[in-house]
Amino acid sequence: MRIKFIIDQAYKFVVMISILFVSSFQSVAHEVTPNIAEVFVDSKLITVKLRFNVEAFLARIDLSNVENTDDAEQASDYQSFRDLSPDELAQFFESNWRNFAVRLNLQSSTLTQTSVLDFIQLLVPNVDDPELPRLSNLTIRSKRSGENAITFTLGKEFGYTILRQMGVDEGLTQYLAPGQTSDPIQQYIGLRKSAFDRFGEYVPIGFDHVIPRGLDHILFVFGLFLLSLKTSVLFWQISAFTLAHTVTLIAGALGLINVPASIVEPLIAASIVFVAVENIFFSKLNKWRTFLVFSFGLLHGLGFASVLAEFGLPEGQYLPALIGFNIGVEIGQLSIIVIAYLFLGLTFGKKHYYRTVISIPASCIIAAVGTWWVFKRVFLF
């Protein structure tokens, strides 16, 4: 019975990791990313510049329920829109403009009056490789009645949205869940947002980049976990990784370091391969591993910085936003460790077969995924 239990648990574990392995092959192509909405408010007009996935909207994919458009029931419809030229896609969207307009709500926060939206333009980028995501830039305008603050709501089916108020020193920055209504947006900001408010705005952004969207970071941290369950081993590895990526995250976000993604992303994948391969051949913390983990952390920090650069940092409050984002990343990392320990370490950690049945097979799969990513990212970039 005991042998059968071991085999059953090992089988379930391998199936779980295999699912993760298969999903990794799709993560580059059509992974769902947050929309970015930039809102400009003056005395007469409200202008919204929205970067979003037009093809998903036209294919009627609910992005709040999928992490990859390939997993949606409408995947074939999505691909047919992907195959259109930029001009053809823009024309098709404009003909469906009214269907979109009812899903974006700019409303007076006190008068509950919905603004009438005017289509200005849709800029669809040229993407030579069909495997790369294509995010289009939509410009919308509405007349403003009175000086009341307005709120922004984008339909639940569009997924998560990063909202930024532009044109003012202390504008609103907010991470919106699918269908969530923003805090009030005003033309003039009479009160300066506190550092704590800015900190709170960026924590979920950092967390979201690790869980669920940072599969490469998840596999790297999981690889660190698989070496050993000793607290000291985990402590030194996670500490080195955290210190390193914090340094390059801050430097990259402030523009002190700028390394092209074509270099950073393949190296991040290579770091995953190294950690996993070392797990296969070693069962203890070697002297060089901590230093190498620190070096890899520098690379991952540059990856975090590129994400943060897309979201932007509020003028005059870089530090609390940076700290908030980094804390969110740390919470994501610790969540990975805790989940791995609860599901694997607590149940199997003291079993004599843990390394043979759990650690080595999982590391082999992670190494295979990382190797695929190295070639994929070198090819794509």
User: Are 313 and 359 part of one and the same domain?
Assistant: yes
Q: What SS3 string covers the chain? A: CHHHHHHHHHHHHHHHHHHHHHHHCCCCCCECCCEEEEEEECCCEEEEEEEECHHHHHCCCCCCCCCEHHHCCCHHHHHHHHCCCHHHHHHHHHHCHHHHHCCEEEEECCCCCECCCEEEEEECCCCCCCCCCCCEEEEEEEECCCCCCEEEEECHHHCCEEEEEECCCCCCEEEECCCCECCCECCCCCCCCCHHHHHHHHHHHHHHHHCCCCHHHHHHHHHHHHHCCCHHHHHHHHHHHHHHHHHHHHHHHCCCCCCCHHHHHHHHHHHHHHHHHHHHHCCCCCHHHHHHHHHHHHHHHHHHHHHHHHHCCCCCCHHHHHHHHHHHHHHHHHHHHHHHHHHHHHHHCCCCCHHHHHHHHHHHHHHHHHHHHHHHHHHHC
User: Are 43 and 57 part of one and the same domain?
Assistant: yes
| Residue 201 included in any domain | no
pTM equals 0.63
Using a pLDDT cut of 70, give the percent of the chain over it.
82
User: Are 154 and 214 part of one and the same domain?
Assistant: no
| Residue 40 included in any domain | yes
Residue 14: per-residue pLDDT? 44
What confidence category does residue 226 fall into, taking pLDDT thresholds of 50, 70 and 90? very high
What confidence category does residue 170 fall into, taking pLDDT thresholds of 50, 70 and 90? low
Single residue among 135, 161, 192 that ends a domain in this structure: 192
In terms of pLDDT, which residue wins out, 54 or 170? 54
User: Are 217 and 335 part of one and the same domain?
Assistant: yes
User: Are 68 and 174 part of one and the same domain?
Assistant: yes
What confidence category does residue 27 fall into, taking pLDDT thresholds of 50, 70 and 90? very low
Residue 318: per-residue pLDDT? 73
Residue 158 pLDDT > 60: yes
Domain count, the chain: 2
Q: Which domain holds residue 47?
A: 35-192
Phi, psi (rounded to 5 degrees) for 130: -65, -15
pLDDT digits 0-9 by tens, 108-125: 755 545 568 899 999 998
User: Are 304 and 348 part of one and the same domain?
Assistant: yes
Single residue among 164, 192, 220 that ends a domain in this structure: 192
Give strand pairing partners of 297.
none
User: Are 267 and 358 part of one and the same domain?
Assistant: yes
The DSSP line for 62-92 is: -TTS-SBGGGSTTHHHHHHHHTS-HHHHHHH
Residue 12: per-residue pLDDT? 44
What confidence category does residue 315 fall into, taking pLDDT thresholds of 50, 70 and 90? low
User: Are 25 and 41 part of one and the same domain?
Assistant: no
User: Are 318 and 219 part of one and the same domain?
Assistant: yes
User: Are 17 and 40 part of one and the same domain?
Assistant: no
pLDDT digits 0-9 by tens, 54-103: 999 999 999 888 777 777 888 889 888 988 888 999 999 999 999 999 99
pLDDT digits 0-9 by tens, 269-297: 999 999 999 999 988 888 788 888 999 99
User: Are 112 and 222 part of one and the same domain?
Assistant: no
User: Are 173 and 239 part of one and the same domain?
Assistant: no
pLDDT digits 0-9 by tens, 29-62: 456 778 999 998 887 888 999 999 999 999 999 9
